[in-house]
Amino acid sequence: MARRGGAVSASAPAVQARGAWRSLTFAVTRRGPVQSARAWPRDVSALFPARRLVEAWRGDGANFARYTSARGPLFLKYRSPMDRDARAQRRLANEVAYLRALAPACPVPSAPLLHAQLDDAARLGHVLMEDLTERTVGWGAVPTGEREARLVGIVRAVADFHAHWLARPDAWAAWRWRAERERTRLMEGLAVPPPGATVDVLDAGPPVCAALKRLDLSALPVTLIHGDLHAGQFLLDPHDTGVVTLIDFGRVRAAPPGVDLAHLLAVRLTPEDRAALAPTLQRAYAARLAEHGVTLDGAAQWRAGVLMNAASVWREAQRTPSEGVREALRNVLDAARAVW
């Protein structure tokens, strides 16, 4: 508490916390987005009777929960009133837009959307989907000896996703590609070093920036991309039928398809794993595109994807200088040294 003019007044954080608690208290009576794993607004709760919480946890920019219900298993992603992150709110709105408008027509399956609601002014919202946990397996459950074959299936699904939207630009026109705006944004970010960056990382900034400046982004084919591909974004069929379910669409956007492939192979894989796996996975991706009648300049897409990811992860390391982000930056800069 802080004293002002002889009276006792609440500090700003205390006022914010009290407001958030009041919002949460009334969440069960008012209409609006879900704000708690346990207490839902009555209008949303009525749509999903006999709901029982299985588990709940906090993630990056959102909270998550799983339920059983009379309508089947449910998976909830929601924003807490205590979390005022505007970027996280935009990601949730982006995911809702994709799931509502585009996911039903995409050949790469996603968890079916059951309900969604946003309050951008209050930075609140929720997405409620069918929970596929019991019908699929995550990457962590795949035996080591099966992982390369499963990765081939994953990049084939990525190619299906890219080829589908490449042929339908009018469907995703709301996600506009602005090549020069993107180049400027990425180059400006490289001017600020990430906290705690090592000398080899700092030395890589200027060459990446110079290579981005020379890159002819306007000449590259553009499609709708996932934007944050890694093995954890895929749910796999436990019987290995080849069906791959893609999840988490908060970073969906228009960009050259090489941005997705480079994120998966250059950002998420160590240099050693990339050297061992990337050639096979790149060939599988290109072959699957060819089945759709699509031929891309693989070298140009890879170069653009690696350089753009290097600049993006550099910016992420400025905001979140965690060891995981630093490792991702080292991975992608290692790949960038071969293309700048």
Residue 5 has pLDDT above 50, yes or no: no
∠ CA 156-162-166, rounded to 5°: 145
pLDDT confidence of 28, banded at 50, 70, 90?
low
Q: What letter represents residue 108's amino acid?
A: V
Residue 15 has pLDDT above 90, yes or no: no
Residue 164 has pLDDT above 60, yes or no: yes
Residue 270 has pLDDT above 50, yes or no: yes
What pTM was computed for the model?
A: 0.90
Count, residues in the chain:
340
φ/ψ of 55, rounded to 5, equals: -160, 160
Residue 23 has pLDDT above 90, yes or no: no
- For the beta carbon of residue 38, count every other beta carbon within 10 angstroms: 10
| Domains within the chain, CATH numbers bracketed | 2-134 (3.30.200.20), 142-336 (3.90.1200.10)
Structure tokens at 314: 């550099």
Contact 99, 127 (CB under 8 A): yes
In this prediction, residues 183-199 reach a mean pLDDT of 96
Query: What is the Cα–Cα distance from 253 to 238, expressed in whole angstroms?
Result: 30
Query: What is the Cα–Cα distance from 26 to 150, expressed in whole angstroms?
Result: 46
Q: What is the pLDDT of residue 242?
A: 83
pLDDT confidence of 6, banded at 50, 70, 90?
very low
Query: What is the Cα–Cα distance from 104 to 118, expressed in whole angstroms?
Result: 20
Q: What is the pLDDT of residue 73?
A: 99
Express each pLDDT in 32-87 by its tens digit. 899 999 999 999 999 999 999 999 999 988 999 999 999 999 999 999 999 989 99
Q: What is the pLDDT of residue 330?
A: 98
Q: What is the DSSP letter of 104?
A: G
Q: What is the pLDDT of residue 240?
A: 80
Mean pLDDT value across the chain = 92
Question: What is the bridge-based pairing of β-strands 2-4 and 124-130?
Answer: unpaired
Q: What letter represents residue 196's amino acid?
A: G
List 224's β-bridge partners, or say none: 254
Query: What is the Cα–Cα distance from 195 to 150, expressed in whole angstroms?
Result: 36
Express each pLDDT in 204-254 by its tens digit. 999 999 999 999 999 999 999 999 999 899 999 998 888 999 999 999 999
φ/ψ of 60, rounded to 5, equals: -80, 105
Residue 123 has pLDDT above 90, yes or no: yes
Q: Please, is 306 exposed, middle or buried when counting C-beta atoms within 10 Å of its C-beta (0-12, 13-18, 19+)?
A: buried
